[in-house]
Amino acid sequence: MPHASRLRAEQLPPVPLRILLLGPARVANEVVRLTALLEARGHELVRVVQESDEPVDAAATPAVLDAADLVIVLGGDGSILRAARWMGYAQVPVLGINLGRLGFLADTLPQHAEATLDDLLAGRFRLVEHMMLECQLHSGGTVRRELGLNEVSVLAGPPFTMIEIDLLVDGEPATTYRADGLIVSTPAGSTAYNLSAGGPIVRKELEAFVFTPLNPHTLTNRTVVDSAARSYELRVPLPNPGSACVVDGRVIGSLIAGDSIRVCRAESRFVLVEIGRHGYYATLREKLGWGGGVRTAAAAPPRGAS
């Protein structure tokens, strides 16, 4: 069930906000600095969770999440993916402090943390919901369920020969991919592994899944975008010894003949706290170098320049 956070979009937040810090042990100095900034603004730090001490392989307890209005994640986009998985079905709004490289989800730079907290306190923020997926791996009579924010991937694995992946939509056979694998991506994940594999960018507000084959054998196997209101099933009749199902970069199980993978929209929504004035396309240009021929007047060379 959804988490009942007191944080609401376009409203002044309650003070104190009950804040949970999540990050790897290597960012201990940043934790100390951020704790001082939070306490100076009257917020309550309810807990600091270090990934090394309490790995996100174990789900967060309801008591931990019920005590928090906001989770501040220190790290990169990978840290946010792990945080989303750690929170499970009781997602708490997340503010990302980017200590990684890209920072597509973790948008706030450390040097801007103080100004970001001031904006938060003044109500200058928005809560942006992201669709999550639920993956069910049916293998050997058991079912393993996993939440994901970005994607489910079926990978051929060693000995790295092509495999066939049957896709069924609402129980109806749709197509068979002959490829090195298949990515089933959410809109949030469309700018991650899916994009690297040649898939499209899908705006995050859309309720859709993106199906992108990896190195398909035939030219007719193209990326497909379909509604998230449907249920999808993947079957690999003859997997390789190393074939696996991967959710958000984490192997959840090897594949054997007869296994099936079911993917659907999760009931839970990942909620990201966004602070700033730049829009969606500005983020694409800044983070992904997506500017193409679009240049500002200041950046454009003078007439006659080569």
Residues carrying an active site annotation: 77
Among candidates 112, 109, 255, which has minimal Cα distance to 182? 255
C-alpha pair distances (Å), 159 with each of 156, 164, 242, 246: 8, 14, 7, 17
Q: CA 175, CA 286: separation in Å to the nearest integer?
A: 37
Termini Cα distance of the chain: 59
Q: CA 165, CA 213: separation in Å to the nearest integer?
A: 10
Q: CA 47, CA 75: separation in Å to the nearest integer?
A: 17
Residue type (1 letter), 9: A
Omega before 16 within 30 of 0, i.e. cis:
yes
Q: 255: number of CA atoms within 13 Å, CB side?
A: 30
Q: CA 278, CA 270: separation in Å to the nearest integer?
A: 21
Q: CA 232, CA 51: separation in Å to the nearest integer?
A: 33
Omega before 159 within 30 of 0, i.e. cis:
yes
Tell me phi and psi for residue 60, to 5 degrees. -65, 145
Q: CA 117, CA 152: separation in Å to the nearest integer?
A: 34
Residue type (1 letter), 223: T
